């Protein structure tokens, strides 16, 4: 980790050996132009510009072994700060589903339910925000969208619309119940 810290204090390149079992697809060797070390969710990350790929990259520090400083220096990259780069990387990583929806809400209200590590927000029209979420599964989204208690439009995927309709039907059925309660909880989806 010392070469990484050195590169952050005085901008320089660091060679990071690739490992097969890493969060990112890493080349056998990567020249990383250090931009920042970030702690998030109990893990340490280094983010910076990959000089060979000419793109921003993020690496978990506990998955780096044998980094070494290289001669030379460079100008520190412009753009988002390191913490924002790491968080945006989580929200925009490749997953099975790419969800897009529009919500009539403030960014503060949305962030209370969809943190920056989960969703990106973009102003689209007055009072509405475009929300993009990438996820392996969609089943967790209907309860989150219901908790927003704000108007929304699901642009895609169609599977989320179907899950939302099923969730709404279950809630409506629960709201119509008037009899005694039972000891057995209902199975999810019934």
Choose one of 91, 107, 132: the last residue of a domain. Answer: 91
The total number of residues shown for the chain amounts to 190
C-alpha 164/C-alpha 121 separation (Å) is: 21
Verify that 86 and 102 share a domain, yes or no: no
Q: In total, how many domains does the chain have?
A: 2
Verify that 165 and 85 share a domain, yes or no: no
Question: Which pLDDT value is given to residue 22?
Answer: 28
Choose one of 72, 91, 110: the last residue of a domain. Answer: 91
Q: 103 CB contacts (<8 Å, ≥6 apart)?
A: 110, 128, 129, 131, 148, 150, 151, 152
Q: Could you tell me the CATH number of the domain that includes residue 26?
A: 2.30.30
Beta bridge partners of 15: 31, 68
Cis peptide bond upstream of 5, omega within 30:
no
Q: Buried b vs exposed e over 136-171: b needs ≥16 C-beta within 10 Å?
A: eebeebbeebeebeeebebeeeeebeebbeebeeee
Question: Which pLDDT value is given to residue 87?
Answer: 65
User: Consecutive sets of 10 residues in the chain, 190 residues long: mean pLDDT of each?
Assistant: 50 52 32 58 69 71 66 62 68 80 96 90 94 92 96 97 96 88 67
Domain extent, residue 51, equals: 2-91
* Chain centre distance of CA 160: 19
Handedness of CA 176, 182, 185, 189 (dihedral sign): negative
């Amino acid at each position: 980790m010392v070469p990484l810290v050195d590169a952050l204090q005085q901008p320089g390149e660091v060679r990071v050996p690739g490992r097969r079992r890493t969060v990112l697809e890493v080349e056998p060797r990567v020249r990383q132009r250090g931009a920042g070390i970030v702690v998030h969710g109990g893990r340490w990350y280094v983010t910076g510009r990959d000089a060979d790929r000419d793109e921003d990259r993020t690496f978990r520090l506990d998955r780096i072994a044998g980094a070494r400083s290289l001669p030379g220096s460079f100008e520190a990259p412009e753009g988002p700060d390191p913490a924002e780069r790491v968080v945006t990387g989580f929200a925009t990583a490749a997953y099975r589903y790419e969800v897009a929806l529009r919500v009539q809400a403030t960014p503060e209200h949305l962030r209370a339910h969809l943190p920056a590590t989960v969703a990106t927000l973009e102003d689209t029209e007055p009072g509405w925000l475009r929300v993009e979420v990438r996820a392996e599964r969609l089943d967790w989204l209907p309860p989150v969208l219901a908790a927003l208690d704000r108007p929304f439009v699901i642009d895609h995927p169609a599977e989320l619309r179907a899950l939302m309709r099923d969730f709404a039907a279950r809630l409506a059925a629960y709201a119509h119940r008037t009899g005694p309660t039972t000891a057995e909880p209902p199975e999810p989806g019934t």
